[in-house]
Chain A
Amino acid sequence: MLRNKMADVFNEPGCATNRAKGEKERKQGCSAKTLTPGAAAGGCAFDGAKIALQPITDAAHLVHGPIACEGNSWDSRNTASSGPSLYRTGFTTDLNELDIIHGGEKKLYRAIKEIVQRHRPPAVFVYLTCVTALTGDDIDAVCKAASERLATPVIPISAPGFAGSKNFGNKLAGHALLDHVIGTVEPEQTTACDINVIGEYNVAGEMWQVTPLFARLGIRVLAPITGDSRYHQVAAAHRARVNMVVCSQAMVSLARAMQERWGIPFFEGSFYGIGDTSAALRTLARMLVERGAEPSLIERTEALIAAEEARAWAALAPYRTRLAGKRVLLYTGGVKSWSVLAALQEIGMTVVGTSVRKSTSEDKQRIKDLMGDDAPMVDQIPAKQMYAMLARGDADILMSGGRTQFVALKTKTPWLDINQERHHGYAGYDGMIALVRQIDTELSNPIWAQVRTPSPWDMPLPARASTAGAQPARAATQG
Chain B
Amino acid sequence: MTDIKSKDQNPFFSLEEIDSEREVKWRETLRLFCANRPALFGFLFIIVFIFVGIFGSILVPADPFEMVAVPLTSPGVGTLFGSDYLGRDVFVGIVHGTKATMIIATTATLVTVFIGITVGALAGYYGGIIDNILMRITEFFQVLPPLVFAMVIVAVFSSDILVVILAIAVTTWTTEARLTRAEFLKIKEQDYVTASRAIGDRDRRIIARIILPNAMPPIIIAITLRVGITIIYEAALSFLGLTDPDIITWGKMIGQSRDYFFDAWWTVTFPGVAILLIVLCIALIGDGLNDALNPKLRGR
Binding partners A and B: no
